[in-house]
Structure 1
Amino acid sequence: MGDNNGVNGDLNANLPCQSTGEPQLDKAVRQWLSWDQNGQTRAQVQALVVAGHLDELKTRLCSRMSFGTAGLRAPMGAGFSRINDLTVIQSTQGLCAYLFRHFPDFTSRGVVVGFDTRGQEESGCSSQRLAKLTAAVMLSRDVHVHLFSSFVPTPYVPYAIKTLGAAAGVMITASHNRKEDNGYKVYWCNGAQICSPHDKEILQSIEEQLEPWSSSCWDAELVENSSLRTDPLLKVNSCYMEELASLCLHRDLNRSCPLKFVHSSFHGVGNEFVQQAFKTFGFAPPIPVPEQKDPDPYFSSVRVPNPEEGESVLALSLRLAERENAQIVLATDPDADRLAVAERSDRCGWKVFSGNELAALLGWWMFFNWKEAHPDPADTRKVFMLATTVSSKILQAFARIEGFHFEETLPGFKWIGNRMHELTKTGNSVIFAFEESIGFLCGSMMPEKDGVSSAAVVAEMAAYLFSKNLTLDQQLHNIYQIYGYHISQTSYVVCHDPPTIQKIFYRIRNYHGDGSYPKMCGGYNILHVRDVTTGYDSSQPDLRSVLPVTKSSQMITFVLENSVVATLRKSGTEPKIKYYTELCASPGRSDVSCLEAELQKVTSALLEEFLEPEKNNLVRRSV
């Protein structure tokens, strides 16, 4: 075997001689140490036993990860509830067994495996190593593996599945999570992230395949010598850029555009791919933020590696743009599936667009270009735009006036991706989809959000508007004048105690007694309540939610008499309760300050009355 990163040959030699005093915990410790062959993570468990840290041992060893809105995601380190060599091997064994049951030609179709740049040496579980172990498990069962030789953006995995006809894909990433985290994201043969029932059935398959199949599963170097492993990087990148070119409709304008762009890849994978995308669109390359251009698993220049946090984490980008006299800042998150945009403004310094605002611009732009190419109004009947239910309803306002179709899904791009697949099978076209957390898909290159293609499309939109003496912000207000102002607020509180979150949502569901939801918020009557956790929707004749019931999550939406839609939701990837509010005004109403004040009143009441931050020790977002 190759280098096993500290594998201990005698697995029984380091079993702890002392007991924790709790038989069930002792059993879990013995199980871990008998299976784990990574010296670093074995040592972590042994040290916790010696130190008597029982609560920490229980947290790590007495529960397992579940598929959330973005796959498996957890801190790196020892334990069945964390991301490490053993849990990745177990997850891949379960996935492999499940895929054998579903695809008769699985060995030849194979799987795509990609990875980002996460993982510090001390964690013993870098993304690249975990990707190789994923491949090793598949290879041990003679499955063809398309393993990227270098880091790639997350959307390259679903794009590769489509291009290569693979049965499934795995991306090792924790996207914009903190540096201590990593993740395991699974894609189905349609290129969309797995959702029910596959997620639950794969977890069951993992439970049935916990013991490592063989020593070869631990051999991360096995992939280097296997004839069943291919590297799809060059082919997939070439096909991606070629298909991306079809989204470019104003190349001559782009070539002559005097606008300058700054791009930050937030210490992740995006730099070289965004540079290539700009070249494909005919632009000069964007100016990279030097401190954030190269991969850095420590994310050393930012408080959190999440461009969604806004101006505070974009400081280096904005300063560079001012020095270079650049008008637009683009920032992709570490795995390059999300995109933040800021524009220099004469009246307010920098305008950092929210995900909802950027979606209004991109939705307008995609339909504007589509209509130019399809002047027959009859063609519009087959056009769709999609958004998650916690995102702005601006696309719904577009659809109402323009005549195309709008649908919303549960939060998480996996729901959008799978709905895209269903619509495409019936001859429809999805030309734009988004989630408010700066996740966008322009066109239908793959059923996943994509920061790389979105960056190029935003640049072309900005160039076109510049040629019309308009800024992005000015066009946003033009859109709102036509379709109605959609003013939104999105934020969160941090809560590390799951029982507290359960208690908060239980109280909301029984606000005025058993089974009675709140009747008012901020002085306005609540007209309808939708609770996808229980399947209740007061707006429906049968009181049943149209959206799928998700009992394992927490999400309640309120529709108020003043056209505010407000949602409370537990994050599927982080210890947060997120809240989303939006006031959807009628076209023609332009008293923006009044609209903002009205929305703020409701948002404050939603936070103070329903979540009770002080009473529940919730930490408010600080930016």
Structure 2
Amino acid sequence: MEIKQTILDKVNEWLSPNFDSVTQTAIREMMRSNPKELEESFYKNLEFGTGGMRGVMGVGTNRINKYTLGKNTQGLSNYLKKVFPGEALRVAIAYDCRHNSDTLAKVVADVFSANGIQVFLFSELRTTPELSFTVKHLNCHAGIVLTASHNPPEYNGYKVYWQDGGQLVPPQDGEIIELIEALNYDEIKFEANDNLIQYIGEEVDAAFHQSTIENASFKTTPAVAKENLKIVYTSLHGTSIKSIPTVLAQAGYTQVHIVKEQAEPNGDFPTVKSPNPEEPEALTMAMELAEATQADIVIGTDPDSDRLGVAVRNTEGKMILLNGNQTMIIMTAFLLEQWKRADKITGTEFVGSTIVSTPMMLELASAYGIECKVGLTGFKWIAKMIKDFPNQKFIGGGEESFGFMVGDAVRDKDAVGASLLVCEIAALAKASGSSLYQELLNLYVDFGCYKEHLISLTKKGIDGLAEINQMMIDLRENPVDEIDGQRVVCIDDYENSTSTNRITNEVEPIHIPKSNVLIYYLEDGSKICARPSGTEPKIKFYFSVNTTLDKVENFKAVEAELDQKIKNIIAAMHLN
């Protein structure tokens, strides 16, 4: 195949003496035997998305390697010096279980130290929420975690955190990216100043674990309830093994059964097809152990421990996986009730959610007389809410992609704190003769029965990106008037910052940052969202439908009705 000149120009730069012999040998081999892979490796620069920068590991500008991460770190170092002139700069660095995460973390630490910046580097793998906590705990100016979250084994990533412990948001992200893009590779300072690299571990762990227990456990649960709750837990070969067993034990939970085959951190994730607790298959071994131990609840986390999967027993005693919207609703309702009982709700509090998550969060917040702030996809936006509204108290928040955050000690989705919280709720429910699942059904009776569904279409490479872009163009330029017999009453276009009433043709502005997202609202309250992923080669379609539930006994029939409604919408949109 013929390789474009723009790509050859990049390739030739990487064959210069600024790059090591291993890199150059790999490039020459691709030129000889795999020009398609060469094109994929160099056709663009890796970009920051909703969860930082993620990509396949390898050589090239579109890959995760010492040079792309070195360039990021040099650009960030320059930015820190610009924003905090004359200050003694400090950064914290953590990494997960993925291949090369430890060596890439050391490269990042080297570059920071070479720029005169004090580095606090975890001596072993740690969770993403602990890194977020550490940034504030050690008074750092920024933080980095090397992780690709739940992506396949060939991926790695680079997430940047700011002083508040939250991920980068506009305008800082754009300003940093400009500095990175303006750099030449020969400007990267790789020679470490080892005197500026301090290894950290157990002392920070202890502070993080104590903070988690203070934020996510409640005295309403008697000790006997904790002792009676049977928990199955799996880290899916990831980092949460460093925190969750310790936190649960310190909080008083004695019946914790760990899936031993998945307890060892391993970047190959050998026992699962995908280390993503959103996918039921990932929790197969945990579910089997739950049956063997007659457990009440299953908890599974992704490799960097920001996502939490929860399975519980339904009214028939069968273990089922809850989705992210359901766990978010259960945890939010519990927190709100605890705050109400403690007489802590003044009307200035808020919970956080995202535009693709369940609208039921709005109903919950309204019932308790507080605000539900809704932002773009990604927990960095919920963290930004905390920073932007210092006079309002943040209670908790979540998003549909199995993420939740309790309080503001951690400023990213936190599977460590969420795991403890969901166990507290389950223990209290069991002690009162109920269950976590029963509590969910009670909420559906009180606030409306909501059902959500997600379809992810994977479109890899250059051709896949073009196909995703065309799908979004078609949805914008040729909007449908009705779906499954229901009129489209409103279209929110976050790229154009407009909300269009399809009945009156009135257009109102949307006052949150731009994003390539479209949401269709139907006259029966259904909601359909289309969004290209910011971290994976996918386009995602989110569906939310709802109706009333008069009593718990009718849930199965109502759920079947909502499932059918979702199937009809998918068929009408030709997505099946």
Could you say which TM-score interval applies, normalised by the shorter chain?
over 0.9
Asked if residue 271 in structure 1 is aligned to residue 241 in structure 2, the reply is yes
Summarize the alignment of residues 425-574 of structure 1 with structure 2, pairs less than 5 Å apart.
425-426=390-391, 428-496=392-460, 497-511=464-478, 517-539=479-501, 542-550=507-515, 553=516, 555-574=517-536
Paired residues of 2:351 and 2:397 also in contact (CA < 8 A) = yes
Paired residues of 1:484 and 1:589 also in contact (CA < 8 A) = no
**Which residue of 1 is the match for residue 10 of structure 2?**
28
1:244 corresponds to which of 187, 203, 212 = 212
State the shift of 1:609 in Å.
4.2
Change (3 A) 1:583 1:30: same
State the shift of 1:22 in Å.
5.7
Paired residues of 1:522 and 1:601 also in contact (CA < 8 A) = no
Change (3 A) 1:594 1:152: same
Change (3 A) 1:268 1:35: farther
Post-superposition Cα deviations, 1:383-430, rounded to whole Å, max 9, x if no partner, equal 10110110112221112221111111011111111112212x22x111
State the shift of 1:158 in Å.
1.4
Asked if residue 168 in structure 1 is aligned to residue 142 in structure 2, the reply is yes
Q: d(CA) in 1 for partners of 2:86 and 2:138?
A: 14
Residue 308 of structure 1: SS of its match in structure 2? Answer: coil
Q: d(CA) in 1 for partners of 2:477 and 2:131?
A: 44
Residue 128 of structure 2: SS of its match in structure 1? Answer: coil
Paired residues of 1:112 and 1:170 also in contact (CA < 8 A) = yes
Calculate percent identity across the aligned residue pairs: 29
Summarize the alignment of residues 607-618 of structure 1 with structure 2, pairs less than 5 Å apart.
607-610=570-573, 612-613=574-575
Q: d(CA) in 1 for partners of 2:349 and 2:250?
A: 26
**Which residue of 2 is the match for residue 10 of structure 1?**
none
Asked if residue 389 in structure 1 is aligned to residue 389 in structure 2, the reply is no
**Which residue of 2 is the match for residue 14 of structure 1?**
none
State the shift of 1:213 in Å.
3.4
Paired residues of 1:264 and 1:332 also in contact (CA < 8 A) = yes
Q: d(CA) in 1 for partners of 2:263 and 2:22?
A: 30
Q: d(CA) in 2 for partners of 1:25 and 1:503?
A: 24
Q: d(CA) in 2 for partners of 1:343 and 1:528?
A: 36
Match for 1:607: what amino acid? I
Q: d(CA) in 2 for partners of 1:570 and 1:431?
A: 30
Q: d(CA) in 2 for partners of 1:240 and 1:522?
A: 49
Paired residues of 2:315 and 2:438 also in contact (CA < 8 A) = no
2:70 corresponds to which of 58, 64, 89 = 89
Paired residues of 2:441 and 2:555 also in contact (CA < 8 A) = no
Paired residues of 1:385 and 1:406 also in contact (CA < 8 A) = yes
1:115 corresponds to which of 75, 81, 95 = 95
Change (3 A) 1:566 1:463: same
Paired residues of 1:421 and 1:447 also in contact (CA < 8 A) = no
Residue 203 of structure 1: SS of its match in structure 2? Answer: helix
Asked if residue 603 in structure 1 is aligned to residue 566 in structure 2, the reply is yes
2:543 corresponds to which of 581, 602, 615 = 581
Paired residues of 2:248 and 2:420 also in contact (CA < 8 A) = yes
State the shift of 1:536 in Å.
1.9
Asked if residue 152 in structure 1 is aligned to residue 126 in structure 2, the reply is yes
State the shift of 1:23 in Å.
4.7
**Which residue of 2 is the match for residue 99 of structure 1?**
80
Residue 247 of structure 2: SS of its match in structure 1? Answer: helix
Asked if residue 293 in structure 1 is aligned to residue 263 in structure 2, the reply is yes
State the shift of 1:578 in Å.
1.3
State the shift of 1:475 in Å.
0.7
**Which residue of 2 is the match for residue 262 of structure 1?**
232
Q: TM-score, normalised by structure 1?
A: 0.87
Match for 1:213: what amino acid? E
Residue 278 of structure 2: SS of its match in structure 1? Answer: helix
Residue 489 of structure 2: SS of its match in structure 1? Answer: strand
Paired residues of 1:304 and 1:313 also in contact (CA < 8 A) = yes
Q: d(CA) in 2 for partners of 1:448 and 1:22?
A: 40
Change (3 A) 1:354 1:482: same
State the shift of 1:586 in Å.
4.8
Q: d(CA) in 2 for partners of 1:244 and 1:526?
A: 44
Paired residues of 2:336 and 2:368 also in contact (CA < 8 A) = no
Post-superposition Cα deviations, 1:190-230, rounded to whole Å, max 9, x if no partner, equal 2111122222221111122232436x61x5xx47xx22122
Change (3 A) 1:129 1:38: farther
State the shift of 1:587 in Å.
6.9
Residue 147 of structure 1: SS of its match in structure 2? Answer: strand
Q: d(CA) in 2 for partners of 1:295 and 1:527?
A: 49
State the shift of 1:253 in Å.
2.5
Match for 2:510: what amino acid? S
Q: d(CA) in 1 for partners of 2:4 and 2:541?
A: 41
Post-superposition Cα deviations, 1:525-551, rounded to whole Å, max 9, x if no partner, equal 11111011222211496422233222x
Asked if residue 230 in structure 1 is aligned to residue 191 in structure 2, the reply is no
State the shift of 1:588 in Å.
4.2
Paired residues of 2:315 and 2:437 also in contact (CA < 8 A) = no
Q: TM-score, normalised by structure 2?
A: 0.93
Match for 2:326: what amino acid? E
Residue 232 of structure 2: SS of its match in structure 1? Answer: strand
Change (3 A) 1:455 1:490: same
Paired residues of 1:275 and 1:285 also in contact (CA < 8 A) = no
Asked if residue 413 in structure 1 is aligned to residue 387 in structure 2, the reply is no
Change (3 A) 1:458 1:597: closer
State the shift of 1:39 in Å.
4.4
Structure 1 unaligned regions, length at least 5: 1-18, 120-125, 512-516, 614-619
Q: d(CA) in 1 for partners of 2:167 and 2:269?
A: 26
State the shift of 1:232 in Å.
3.2
Structure 2 unaligned regions, length at least 5: none
State the shift of 1:43 in Å.
2.3
Q: d(CA) in 1 for partners of 2:324 and 2:86?
A: 41
Paired residues of 1:20 and 1:26 also in contact (CA < 8 A) = no
Q: Aligned residues, how many?
A: 567
Paired residues of 1:495 and 1:501 also in contact (CA < 8 A) = yes
